Amino acid sequence: MARLRTTAPSSGYTVLVVDDDDDLRITLCRLLEVDGHEVLSAASGEEALRLCRGQDVHLILLDYFMPGMTGQEVVKHVRTFDPQVQIVLQTGYASEKPPRQMLRELDIQGYHDKSEGPDKLLVWVDAALKTFQHVRALHASRSGLEYILKAAPELHRLQPLDDLLLGILLQIQGLLGFPSAVLATLTPERAALAPSGAVLTTELQEFTLRIGTGRFNHTEWAVLTPAEQTLICTAVKSGQAYLGPQIILPLKAGERTLGVVMVDNPGPGNGDLHLLEIFAAQAAVAIENTRLYSLATIDDLTGLVNKRAWLMRLEETIQLAARHAVPTSVLLLDLDHFKAVNDTYGHLAGDHVLATLGGCVQQHLRRSDVAGRYGGEELAVLLPHTPAAGALIIAERLRGAIERLPLRWKGHALSLTVSIGVASLPSTAVHAPEELAVDVFARADQALYEAKRQGRNRAVQDTEGAPAL
């Protein structure tokens, strides 16, 4: 096999010339090089099959009569592993095999009589490569639609916004195989940075990074080039997608633009814009649903779930735990002397304390744990799959972390401690499943009262219930 170097600008296509006539094969390869194609050559059907299996070939110019395998046999073998490559058969004895008959019998895209000269063959080459481009685009669109249909349930699953945004970027990676991407939303969010990167939000018309991958990982807005900043701002204002060195996808729910995704385009042949817009619409609806769900379930001040949402999770988790004999525990936390903070420094200082407390609690819990604001300065924590001993360890970890918080308000250092009540499911259920949640919460409340009676700034475990599971 000889690989011939091309001097013309690359067309992006690879053509395999198969002919046992060395002079004819070399001449044809040189003609194809002039058009910028990468050219491979083979002197036999067996060598042609080996090249096709090892490389991405777009078009095969195949001699019909060759020693060993005939062109017809090569076609049948190729079609067992590559349905997309275009094949043009060539022969010097066209009268023996009428073109229409060959086109009907074999999965080929052209049949060239060598006596008609190279110009006619190059016409077949141009037509076949155009067909290849359409076939590959159609296949990519069909695969992309199948991918979107499979990805949709994961996008629309209720989940934290940062998890959803990162999932959107990873799903686009599945569609495009991009090296780098960044996602911007127009709704300011207080969520922490995701481990894999950052996210863009707009605050007072300024962009700050929230989630990105590749070269955008932990990048600040100011590090983006002026051209990239302009592309993002233009997409946000116009709501129109852009396909170029970067792919810009506005995230629109109906007529409202929620944000934008910018992806480094991995190559000029990538990016069915209409297909990507379909996915972006799905992603925008998922973001909007997550935002609405957060408004209904998240406490604005602490960033934890609200009382109603926490109680629903408590009931669901406790019933499953009782059914499957899984250890589960509950913590109730109450700030010590919180009224003094409000009376001394004002309610804004109290709000600052509660917001800091919510962030601290969330930071020291596992992903499976559920922390909520139960009311005022009282927080509740649900610990699935956690026995009594483990729950007490977590409670002590939280108590110590809160005691060490470096809190300040207008130049004043604030001291913050917390009392914690701990309760777990009994090893033998003495209540009906629907009553277990009420029971374990009531015992945690009693343990909290005991912690305060003993002097505050401590965690006390319920002792009335039987040993935990």
Just list the catalytic residues: 377
Residues in the chain: 469
List alpha helices for 177-257, DSSP H. Answer: 226-238
Mode of pairing for the β-strands spanning 246-253 and 378-383: unpaired
Long-range contacts of 304-309 (CB under 8 A, 24+ apart): 304/358, 304/361, 304/362, 304/371, 304/372, 304/373, 304/379, 305/370, 305/371, 305/372, 305/373, 306/372, 306/373, 307/372, 307/373, 307/374, 307/375, 309/372
Alpha-carbon span 194 to 258, nearest angstrom: 20
Q: Residue 419, class by beta-carbon neighbours within 10 Å (0-12 exposed, 13-18 middle, 19+ buried)?
A: buried
Alpha-carbon span 220 to 230, nearest angstrom: 15
Sheet order of strands, 38-42 included:
3-4, 38-42, 14-18, 59-63, 86-91, 110-113
* Measured distance between the N- and C-terminal CA atoms of the chain, rounded to whole angstroms: 71
Helix (H) / strand (E) element for 291: namely helix 273-297
For 71, which DSSP code? Answer: H
Looking up tokens 């481990």 gives 195
Angstrom CA distances, 222 to 193, 245, 288, stand at: 18, 20, 27
> Which residue from 398, 377, 363 is spatially nearest to 335, judged by alpha carbons?
377
| CA-CA-CA-CA torsion sign (113, 116, 119, 123) | negative
For 249, list phi and psi in degrees, rounded to 5. Answer: -120, 105
Contact of 263 with 279, CB cutoff 8 Å: no
Contact of 211 with 166, CB cutoff 8 Å: yes
Alpha-carbon span 107 to 356, nearest angstrom: 69
- Within 8 A by CB and 6+ apart from 166, the residues are 194, 196, 197, 211
Task: For residue 8, give the 3-state DSSP assignment.
Answer: coil
Helix 118-155 to helix 161-176 angle, to the nearest 10 degrees?
A: 160
Alpha-carbon span 281 to 257, nearest angstrom: 10
Structure tokens at 95: 């009268």
